[in-house]
Chain A
Amino acid sequence: MKRTYIPFIIFSIGIAFTITCAAKPVEESVKWPDTKFLFIIGVGVCVAALIAWRLAVSSGKINTPEKRTASSKDLFQKLHECRDCARQIGNKINEFDSNSLCEVIDELLINHMNPFVESRHVLIDHFGMLKGSDILLKTAFAERQFNRVWSASSDHCLAEAKVSFEMALSAMDDIVDYVEHLD
């Protein structure tokens, strides 16, 4: 059984109990319900379970470096694949017409960009909230530029699509450099 399960279960039961105690209507001319002491006990149990849960989550990260490295490696691979795919599109960008450029951008976003950003918890676990958020913000800029390529291409403004694509590709290179530098 995972070490996070027990605190999670205690927290869930504790919070259900606490909410139930808080929900009781107050009697007339009284400020608090008569379940207030039970409510306080429930809060105490929840706080204890919460501390245990957070400790279990963080000790789980520290005690399983192999797993941590594996999921981080997987994530970095996704990032490299995304950049490589973008580069391949960039090499052939003059050969695409509007529809085909939209299609390859769709594929890039669904198959490479989305899996990377959806693993953001791994990123935050690995680098911490501050640096993880920095990476996500930089990635979001690249993603928005790819979306702009799609829109410009569908509006038959291929020049704008190309300019935006170059900005997205440059942002992808920056992210890879930044992540490698951090790691």
Chain B
Amino acid sequence: MKEQLNPKEVVKDLATGYRELTFAAVFLGIVQGVILNLAFVYAALKLGFSIGGSTVAAIMGYALLSGVMKKGTSLENNINQTIASGINTAGTGIVFTLPALFMLNAKWVAAGEPGIEFSVWPLIFGGISGSILGTVLIIPLRKQMIEVERLRFPSGVAVTTIIRSGSTGLGKAKLLGIGFLISAVWKMLLLSGWLEMFGVHEEEFNFGFGIIPSYLSPILYLSLMNLGAGLLSGKGGLPFFIGGILAWWVISPVAANAGLFGGVEWVPALTELEALGFDTQEDYIYSVMLRPLGIGTLIGGALMGVVVCFPAIVSAFRSLANSAKTSGSNSSSNGTQELSLKVIVIGTIIGISLFFVGSLMTEGVTVWQAIIGSLIGTVWLAVAGLIVAQATGMTDISPMSGMALISVTLMMFVFSNNVAAAMVVGVAVCVAIGQGADMMQDLKTGFMLGSKPAKQQIVQFATTWIGALLAIGVIYVLWKSGPGGQGGFGEGTALPAPQAGALMGIIDAVKSGNVPMDKYVMGGAIGGLLAAAPMSGLGVLIGLAMYLPFSITLGYGIGCISNMTLKKMYGVAFIEHKVVPVAAGFIVGEALTGVGHATFTIIRTLI
């Protein structure tokens, strides 16, 4: 019984302290964050998607802090992964927006139109402002979403399982390993293309076999990560699945068959669809009808959610105010574990000021426009952050591109179609909402490990701006690396930047007045109604189900139903001890294989 408590050991332990916020954790987090940021900015320009760095950072942290240094703790590793993923995620917000500015300018100049006047400084201010406001927003939301609503945050649970795996005994570590292996092998099979002979195309399986019509979207996304998120969410994620069924098995057939009842056709004939740029009825229904309606529903649902949960939000703020009062009285009280309201106020003022300065420095923006833009931008940023945090908390899926779309649309109106100014706000909003979702997952991990939230939030404040600066720098360098000092990425190059291409399309649509405002407004009303129902989170979940393709919702729903069935058959303990480690393994396995594949693809191109 060497480990049992004895007075000498207590004195020694208390003198050295329990390692949590240490130089080693911060240093390792920054180094990993910088590497992940550089790699994933490049990968996102090439492949069109990015990957959260928490899982990679947690595994490396475990190996280096505990394995090499021999004195690392779980909470130290949590600080390491918080910093690394924060720096990495700030880059994601930039890479999905900023390249569109370069590409649009080049496109318009080539077409003989006036180009876009812009400089790097407003964008830097926007990026740093987003980093600060994203972290500030999360301080009260942490209490609301993690402690009151107790949202699941599947990736946060997965990272906790990794960090704890060395200490939970062989049983859980084995299950995590089994889940990891199954998921990694499955992902490699999907990427290899070998499953195409069985009808699998781009990781999706069409079970319609030409019999079930395409408007019912008989497609299953074969991602074990998606299934794992559903397995971790259980009953709480079921409305998301029901929303998908409503969208694709009720609305879609009505839309596709409206003409049968003597009415006007809702969906054009196949020949007309091709002329409009759609391959199938499903594509049209998704792009023109369900997706924009889903975005509106998400926004309406989030706003009404604030109204419905207002007393709980008041309670969260009151708790923060109480924390500030007790912080000086007792070093181990709750007070020193929370950042106070003062930090929220100061952070918000600094964030809005940077926003204002960034907007004002942009060519063609007046002082009034800068004031209105920074205030509206901050309010919208809070709403978008709330939506993304709720969506990731309930389903692990982030509707970031939809929020970027609304940000740029909104700011184009505010700044009278000044693309450069709209992009400064777009960059800030995307960085902030990415930060918010990532930080919330990290705080969930922190909660499950018993970390002090203030320490995680302080390191996030202190380091995430690095990610924004790095990503802006990388994008500038890559753009300048093209022939004649421009055109280093974009269509026809080795780095096609697909997300930025999509945003360019949106900016063009806004300039030509082609925005589906009817869908946003009607969706907003629907989201409000759903969120006012006495069932928590209905607006955001059903909005998200309409916003996403049904293949994802279906795979996720199978996970939710499997969780509920297993819970009924074997009980809660079985879910906690057996299902959670396997599901976490599914998430980690696919994430790491994705990282490996992205790296391999880039190296192969360079060689």
Residue A46 is within 8 A (CB to CB) of chain B in the complex: yes
A106-164 interface with B by 8 A CB criterion = 110, 114, 117, 120, 128-130, 133-134, 136-137, 140-141, 143-152, 154-160, 162-164
Question: Which of B19, B289, B312, B573 is A23 in contact with, Cβ under 8 Å?
Answer: B289
* Binding site secondary structure of chain B: helix
Residue B533 is within 8 A (CB to CB) of chain A in the complex: yes
Residue A104 is within 8 A (CB to CB) of chain B in the complex: no
Sampled A-B contacts (30; CB under 8 Å):
A15-B529, A15-B530, A18-B526, A19-B247, A22-B522, A22-B523, A24-B289, A25-B266, A25-B288, A25-B289, A26-B516, A31-B518, A46-B529, A93-B5, A94-B4, A110-B572, A130-B311, A133-B311, A133-B316, A136-B150, A140-B143, A140-B147, A144-B447, A145-B450, A147-B449, A148-B449, A154-B166, A158-B13, A159-B10, A159-B12
Residue B532 is within 8 A (CB to CB) of chain A in the complex: yes
**A93's closest neighbor in chain B, by CB?**
B5
Residue A32 is within 8 A (CB to CB) of chain B in the complex: yes
The distance in angstroms between the C-alpha atoms of A15 and B546, with both chains bound, is 14
Q: Is the CB of B4 within 8 A of A96?
A: yes
CB of B148 to closest CB in A, whole Å? 5
Residue A95 is within 8 A (CB to CB) of chain B in the complex: yes
Question: Which of A120, A152, A159 is B9 in contact with, Cβ under 8 Å?
Answer: A159
Which of A50-58, A62-70, A81-89 binds B?
A50-58
The distance in angstroms between the C-alpha atoms of A153 and B166, with both chains bound, is 13
Residue B606 is within 8 A (CB to CB) of chain A in the complex: no
Residue B109 is within 8 A (CB to CB) of chain A in the complex: no
Q: Mark B1-16 against chain A: 1 for CB-CB distance below 8 A, else 0.
A: 1011100011011100
Which of B249-257, B422-430, B554-562 binds A?
B249-257
Q: Is the CB of A155 within 8 A of B18?
A: yes
**A95's closest neighbor in chain B, by CB?**
B4
Q: Is the CB of B518 within 8 A of A26?
A: yes
Residue B309 is within 8 A (CB to CB) of chain A in the complex: yes
CB of B447 to closest CB in A, whole Å? 6
**A33's closest neighbor in chain B, by CB?**
B518
Question: Which of A57, A117, A120, A164 is B450 in contact with, Cβ under 8 Å?
Answer: A164
**Chain B neighbourhood of A16, CB < 8 A:** 246, 250-251
Question: Which of A140, A150, A163 is B146 in contact with, Cβ under 8 Å?
Answer: A140
Q: Is the CB of A155 within 8 A of B13?
A: no
**Chain A neighbourhood of B315, CB < 8 A:** 129-130, 133-134, 137
The distance in angstroms between the C-alpha atoms of A140 and B530, with both chains bound, is 28
Q: Is the CB of B450 within 8 A of A148?
A: yes
Q: Is the CB of B150 within 8 A of A157?
A: no
Q: A46-B529, A134-B318, A155-B18 are in contact. List 10 more A-B contacts (CB 8 A).
A: A11-B533, A20-B254, A97-B4, A134-B315, A147-B449, A154-B164, A155-B167, A158-B13, A159-B10, A159-B13
CB of B453 to closest CB in A, whole Å? 8
**Chain A neighbourhood of B4, CB < 8 A:** 94-97, 158
